Structure 1
């Protein structure tokens, strides 16, 4: 299996009333997060990675009309947890994560990828931020009220 590229996206999924969707990892029980995923190739556009991961992990399609991904133009650099470093090339210790958000209707259907996630929950944004195991994910959720502009 090829090594993961140490560049990824984080997609915060929310409703207009700032309910945030979190998904529980299959490989680490109790680890809740937003959608995340690495680029498939070094030349894959970040927006394409975000749309692909959104669909793969939740079944939500960002059609650009009713469901629109927003690029926050924000990147976090963080140390890769040691438990997951084996997925990367030897010596790679840090990842660059690009933050996106997407506002969805309350009734949107969620279809999890069972090999990646075992559960999901819609939570008020402050509760969601508190439940995330990743500090950069929690920080993105805490920024959501100031970044989300109601139409």
Structure 2
């Protein structure tokens, strides 16, 4: 079990969970009203690999095993760097202003039922990729949805 830490590590993953026919899973944040997003989350420790972070976050936030037979987890080789929102700044060490986010895609055969952590998310929905892009509250999430066809080709 990872040791507890005082501050979040400013390195995270975004995992776009989708089907081969471009249905995208979105989950609604518990702490931010109608903010819909893909799976996201920070590394638990600085040495945790991007892949391990992605697998752990998918399981924690949805109950989906990213490495299950029939699932395909792909590191898209893309990173976003963005300013940490002021309302979440307190989670990071003093002076940390930016986060680095690695983007993954997780293909599942068909829309799956999810098991949400109510502390983090309050609802889920599967949407066509363009509708999902419109529903995402963050630019990096919307961009990942819009890039999906490129990674399915």
TM-score range, shorter chain: over 0.9
Counterpart of 1:38 in structure 2 is 42
Counterpart of 1:11 in structure 2 is 15
Aligned positions, number: 149
Where 2:95 maps in the other structure, the secondary structure is coil
Counterpart of 1:79 in structure 2 is 83
Task: Give me the TM-score of the superposition, normalised by structure 2.
Answer: 0.94
Task: Give me the TM-score of the superposition, normalised by structure 1.
Answer: 0.95
**CA–CA distance in 1 between the matches of 2:67 and 2:57?**
14
Unaligned 5+ segments in structure 2 are: none
**CA–CA distance in 1 between the matches of 2:13 and 2:111?**
24
Where 1:56 maps in the other structure, the secondary structure is helix
Q: State the Cα RMSD in Å.
A: 1.1
Unaligned 5+ segments in structure 1 are: none
8 Å CA contact retained: 2:23, 2:127: yes
Where 1:40 maps in the other structure, the secondary structure is coil
**CA–CA distance in 1 between the matches of 2:33 and 2:134?**
16
